[in-house]
Structure 1
Amino acid sequence: MDLQPITYSESTTADRPWLASRHGLDTPLTVTLDIALFTSGTHYRPSSLLQQRNTFLAGIPLGRITATGLYGPWDKAATDGRATFTGVLLAEVPFAPTSTRAGAALLWHGVIAVAHIPGGLNPADIAQSTAQIHFI
């Protein structure tokens, strides 16, 4: 039997069509996502035979869960704190299919092109916000 190590590299390009300005990119907040609150296919790409990891989509609107301090998808009807818009997920986040939490970067200050937010976002629906986001 001849076992040889295999080396490979992977490169990706950030896909953020919703980002309308570089303003705020130097001040993201580090947050922890509660994976159980997100939906496969809507908020993240599920793993496949070739890619053994799930990947959150950049640009997902987020809210902070009051009781735990974790973050989940913003939901104007949520009663756990996520009704307050805190910003958007700055970059794609890969995570193992069995993970319950994932570290991420929150863009809380900047300019966003609303038409390109994954899943859509109507700024008129945001009643409460801790973010300093300008929507165009």
Structure 2
Amino acid sequence: MNDFQPVRVSEEATADRPWLASLVGTNDTNSILLDTTKFTEGVHWEKGTALQPRNILKSGIPLGRLTTNGLYVPYSGPRSEVQTVTVTGSPTGGTYTLTFSGQTTAGIPYNATAAQVKAAIEALSNIEAGEVAVAGGPHPGTAVVVTFGGQYLGDDVAQMTASAAGLTGGTSPAVTVTTTTAGGGASATDGSEVFHGFLATESMFAPGSTKTSGALLWFGEVYANLTPVPFDPTDIAATAPGVNIHYRYR
């Protein structure tokens, strides 16, 4: 696949890979070098701790490769739709709802966390588990940001609407939804728009460093809805030279 040497990945190292559907093919990986400046905290990596100060890149990140230097970066295929939900008017109680393509959520608490908003959206009949990533919050002080993936990756989806009828207290509490990024085809032309595989295991890097090594999984079976970044296997298949990944859902 590339000029790097094959690297073995222990079959026992499965704790950080809930997205891996089968151990078959786990050893079919390639050693790679990643450009850590292209990865985003919270989405792609988590900060270390006092006892283990190195940052940790999450396993299962879809990867592309820059044509200029061969470094691996997050796959930037079809853009995900990003919508922002903002609660205003400083409510002190009650709930609000979101409606997506005719389906309305159960009541979402006025002070909901990102996890609560995600759970409410994924309970809709037209959203599968893992098809939205939600960050930000908690309400009402901080907006939440909803990123669509799965079957909706690369789609310019309908903007959600909101009802603040159930909110109480504050001053004229309201909920607004805005489209931050419209979904659509890949806009990158630096090589990252071509899918090359997944980061096979967690990779550590020191704060401030710009590169780290890792293992590229290009052969095997993956739960498409359990990777850390939403994606659509159909879209990936169109730009995956030499990649032999089969997808399942759980």
Q: Does TM, normalized by the shorter one, top 0.5?
A: yes
Q: TM-score, normalised by structure 2?
A: 0.48
Secondary structure at the aligned position of 1:124 is classed as helix
Correspondent of 1:99 among 189, 203, 209: 209
C-alpha contact 2:75 2:195 (8 A) present in aligned 1: yes
Corresponding residue of 2:75: 74
Corresponding residue of 2:240: 129
Corresponding residue of 1:110: 220
Matched AA of 2:54: R
Query: Based on CA coordinates, which of the two structures has the bigger radius of gyration?
Result: 2
Residues 48-95 of structure 1: per-residue CA shift (max 9 Å, x gap) = 334311000000000111110100000112211011111100000111
Residues 87-124 of structure 1: per-residue CA shift (max 9 Å, x gap) = 10000011100111000000001100101010222112
C-alpha contact 2:73 2:192 (8 A) present in aligned 1: yes
C-alpha contact 2:62 2:229 (8 A) present in aligned 1: no
Give ranges in structure 1 of 5+ residues lacking alignment.
Answer: 1-11
Between stretches 42-51 and 25-34, larger displacement belongs to: 42-51
Cα distance in 2 for residues equivalent to 1:115 and 1:98: 31
C-alpha contact 1:14 1:91 (8 A) present in aligned 2: no
Corresponding residue of 2:40: 39
C-alpha contact 2:54 2:206 (8 A) present in aligned 1: yes
Matched AA of 1:89: L
After superposition, the Cα gap between the structure-2 partners of 1:13 and 1:135, relative to the gap in structure 1 and judged at 3 Å, is closer
C-alpha contact 2:35 2:210 (8 A) present in aligned 1: yes
Cα distance in 2 for residues equivalent to 1:73 and 1:35: 10
Q: Percent identity?
A: 46
RMSD after superposition: 1.4
Secondary structure at the aligned position of 2:196 is classed as strand
Secondary structure at the aligned position of 2:228 is classed as coil
Structure 1 residue 22: Cα displacement: 1.0
What number of residue pairs does the alignment pair up?
125
Matched AA of 1:54: N
C-alpha contact 2:22 2:220 (8 A) present in aligned 1: yes
Give ranges in structure 2 of 5+ residues lacking alignment.
Answer: 1-12, 78-185
Matched AA of 1:40: E
Corresponding residue of 1:84: 194
Q: TM-score, normalised by structure 1?
A: 0.86
Cα distance in 1 for residues equivalent to 2:233 and 2:53: 35
Cα distance in 1 for residues equivalent to 2:39 and 2:17: 19
After superposition, the Cα gap between the structure-2 partners of 1:129 and 1:13, relative to the gap in structure 1 and judged at 3 Å, is closer
Cα distance in 2 for residues equivalent to 1:84 and 1:73: 10
